[in-house]
Chain A
Amino acid sequence: MPGHDSARDIYRQALPVISVSLIAGLFAGTILASETMRANIAEVPGLLLLLPAFLATRGGVYGSLGARLSTGLHQGIIEPRFRLDRRLTNAVVASFLNGMTVSVFIAVVTYATLVLFGDGGSLFQLVGVMVVAGFLSAVIMITVLIAVIFLGYRRGLDPDNVIGPVVTTLGDVFGVFFLLVGVAAVGAVS
């Protein structure tokens, strides 16, 4: 009964979920600690400063997309089919715009903080990195979320139980990876 679980019961039930996010965290950490990324951190002022904000907003933006899709499916106003339906498009476009806006906002605030503390840094570089990383993570997160939620729903899986782990797991791993890609892309342009 939910109200009377012992510490042992809670431990047993929570450990698998926590372990999944732990493994994802270790993956993200490995990318972050890789030689290329360490070189990036040393070269690009502000990269560490924006990291927690960038990772946290992945969860906020795509977690709410997942929740919206799930509610729509349960209400029957979104069908689990991969085609352009107005409600599905609206939800996707909204979360894409949210993701991009917040990414650019983070770049600007990070730059302002750097200037405030007299650390220098380049606004162009930070915005560039965030636009590339924000765009790529939007594409991958939206695609994977829709695929997992729809395919799961068709097989009788309640999307409400899947969204949390999927978003936190993929958000961190792809977030850090696309930051790396963003730095490389901006470096290639400038």
Chain B
Amino acid sequence: MIPLLAALSVLQLVSGTVLETYEAVLLRYPALLVLVPVQIGTAGNLASITCSRLTTQLYLGTYEFSASNPALRANAGAVFALAATVFGAVGVAAWAIGLALGGSLALGRVLLISLVSGLCLAVLVVVASVAAVEVSYRVGLNPDDTTIPVVTNLCDIAGVLILFAVVSVVL
């Protein structure tokens, strides 16, 4: 257990380094600090739901690696709809909390950052989940065991990277 947790925390230092690099920006705009834990958590949640569903559908025989597969389309559609809802709400909430804590970032900007990074994240969640299920199935590993830890951690880290990529473009 310890080696796994240790490896995981070293991996998480990648997103830590990004946070540290943007320290001045984060301290100046508290709304962005509010977005950090939300971004990390939601990415992992969406990924674990998608992986878990795709794996079940693989075993039920309703999943097929094809753009016209109804199960795949329904999952991808749901991830995008969830991301749009959640990150829209988060943008408004982070703006309001940031304002209350003495920030000065405009609603439009926070909302733009939250929605754009959230939707990029949705693309990553869908692509990474499908790839993980596909690879793990072909290699002969049970996707129930392998996909969730790999994809959720990847998406948690990517969540922070994407957030700050968008921040550096918007601000």
On A, residues with C-beta under 8 Å from B are 2-11, 14-15, 17-19, 21-22, 24-26, 28-30, 32-35, 38, 41-42, 46, 48-57, 60-61, 64, 94, 98, 101-102, 105-106, 109-110, 113, 119, 164, 168, 172, 176
Chain A hits for B45, CB < 8 A: 17-18, 21, 168
CB < 8 Å A-B pair total: 183
Known: A52-B157, A56-B156. 7 other contacts (CB 8 A): A4-B71, A7-B76, A14-B82, A19-B86, A29-B37, A51-B16, A172-B41
A-side contacts of B31, CB under 8 Å: 33
Any chain A CB within 8 A of the CB of B23? yes
Q: Chain B residues in contact with chain A, CB under 8 A?
A: 1-2, 4-6, 8-10, 12-13, 15-17, 19-20, 23, 26-27, 30-31, 33-42, 44-46, 48-49, 53, 56-57, 60-62, 70-71, 73-78, 81-82, 85-86, 89-90, 93-94, 97-98, 101-103, 153, 156-157, 160
**Minimal Cβ-Cβ distance residue in B for A39:** B27
Chain A residues closer than 8 Å to B35, beta-carbon distance: 29
Which chain A residues border B103 with CB–CB below 8 Å? 33
Closest B-chain residue to A42, C-beta based?
B27
CA A50 to CA B20, docked complex, whole Å: 9
Q: Which of B42, B74, B75 contacts A25 (CB 8 A)?
A: B42
- What are some 26 contacts across the A-B interface (CB < 8 A)? A2-B56, A3-B60, A3-B71, A10-B53, A10-B75, A14-B49, A15-B82, A21-B45, A22-B90, A25-B37, A29-B37, A32-B33, A38-B30, A48-B19, A48-B23, A49-B17, A52-B16, A52-B160, A55-B37, A56-B9, A101-B2, A102-B6, A110-B13, A110-B16, A113-B13, A176-B37
Tell me if B16 and A50 are in contact (CB < 8 A).
yes
Query: Chain B interface secondary structure, helix, strand, loop or mixed?
Result: helix
Q: Are A105 and B19 in contact (CB under 8 A)?
A: no
Closest chain A residue, CB of each to CB of B60: A3
Contact B56 A3 (CB under 8 A): yes
For A105, the closest partner residue in chain B by CB is B6
Instruction: Please tell me if the beta carbons of B97 and A33 are within 8 angstroms of each other in the complex.
Output: yes
Are B37's CB and A28's CB within 8 A? yes
Report whether B90 and A26 are in contact in the complex, using a CB–CB cutoff of 8 Å: yes
A2-B60, A38-B33, A57-B5 known; A26+B93 contact, CB < 8 A? yes
Contact, CB under 8 Å: A60 / B4: yes
Q: Are B8 and A33 in contact (CB under 8 A)?
A: no
CB distance from A42 to the nearest CB of B (A): 6
How distant is the Cα of A140 from the Cα of B160 in the complex, in angstroms?
Answer: 27
List chain A residues, Cβ under 8 A from B23. Answer: 41-42, 48
- Are B157 and A29 in contact, with the CB atoms below 8 A? no
